Amino acid sequence: MWLGPVRLGPYVALPTTDGRKMLLVRRTEPERVVLLILDPPGLQLPLQPPPRIRAPPPFDDPPRLAKRRHMSLLTIVPPMPGAERRFKPFVDFLQAAGWETEFVRLEWVGSQPNFDSHALFPQVDAQTAGKVVMGFSLGALYSHLGAVRARHLILGSISPFFLEDDDEPRRWRISYRAGNADTPADVLVGATEDAQMHRRAAAVRDFYRHRTYTVVHDAEHELWHPNYLQAIKAALDRLGARTTAPT
C-alpha cells in the first residue's frame, strides 16, 4: 500500500566544539490524505530519528597518507608575505616529484622589501633549521642570509641586493658573505639572465664550500620555465637519492 510522499528530509549539520558534526535528520510530516488512512486502524509513524554525531573525516585516505609519510619535505622561502598562492603550480609540480612542501611565514614591517631591516633573516632561520630549503629571486636571498642552519639550500636566481651590489641604489647593508659557507647548496641561474645576475650567482657559488652550480639552459628569470623546473627537480632527485641510499 502506498502512503504518499513520507520520506526522510535533508539534514541540518551543526558543528560541535570538538570538530564533529551533529546531524539532525527530519522526516516530512504526512499529508492530510495520508493521515486519514493511518488514523482508523491506529497506525503510527515511528518517532523522528534521533540526531547523529559524525566525526570529521580522516586527514587523508590510508593509501595516500602512507605515501605522504614517505615523501620528503621542502621548505620554501617566498619572496614576500602572502605569495604562497602564486606558487600553487610549483607545489603541484613538487608533489608529483615526490616532495611535500611548506612555506616560511614572513612578517614585514614598513615598506616591502624593507632594506633597512634585518628582521626577516632571524624569522627564516627559526623556521628552517635542519631542513631542505629553497628560495627563488628575493626568496633565495632570504634563504642564503637567513637559513644559516638549513640541511641543504637550493638558491634559484638569487637577487643582487647585497652590500656588494654598488649598482643597486637600494640594497641591504649586509654582505652575501653573511651566510653559512658550510651549508651544502645548489645554486642556479637562468642562462639568459643579465650579467649582473650571473655575477652574483657566481659569487654565491664560490662562497659555498659544498655546492652544485647549474646554468639553466635557455631560461630567463622565471621559476615556471620548464627547464628551470627540471633543474630544480634534478637537485631534489639528487637529495632524495642521497636520503634513501642504504647505509
* All cell numbers assigned to 16: 560541535
pLDDT computed for residue 199 by the predictor = 94
Would you kindly state where each structural domain of the chain is located, as residue ranges?
Answer: 62-244
Q: What is the pTM of this model?
A: 0.70
Q: Is 82 helix (H, G, I), strand (E, B) or coil?
A: coil
The 10s digit of each residue's pLDDT in 98-107 is 999 999 999 8
* All cell numbers assigned to 28: 516530512
The 10s digit of each residue's pLDDT in 110-156 is 777 788 788 889 999 999 999 999 999 999 999 999 999 999 999 99
d(CA 98, CA 139): 22
CATH number of 62-244: 3.40.50.1820
* All cell numbers assigned to 128: 628552517
pLDDT computed for residue 38 by the predictor = 62
The 10s digit of each residue's pLDDT in 35-66 is 666 666 666 666 666 766 666 555 444 444 44
**What is the number of helices (H) and of strands (E) in the chain?**
7, 9
